[in-house]
Amino acid sequence: MNVKYIEEGANGFNIGSIYNPFVCCDYELHISLENGAPRYFINSDCCSCNLYCCFNCDSCNKSTLSICDNNYTPMSKIQLVRKDF
Q: Measured between alpha carbons, how far is 34 from 68 in angstroms, rounded to an integer?
A: 18
pLDDT of 53 reads 67
Q: Could you tell me the residue ranges of all domains in the chain?
A: 2-81
CB atoms within 10 A of CB 31: 16
Residue 11's contacts (CB-CB under 8 Å, 6 or more residues apart) are: none
Query: Could you read off the pLDDT of 3-60 as tens digits, one per residue?
Result: 777 777 777 778 888 888 887 777 788 889 888 888 888 888 766 666 666 666 766 7
- pLDDT beyond 70 at 85: no
Q: Measured between alpha carbons, how far is 84 from 56 in angstroms, rounded to an integer?
A: 8
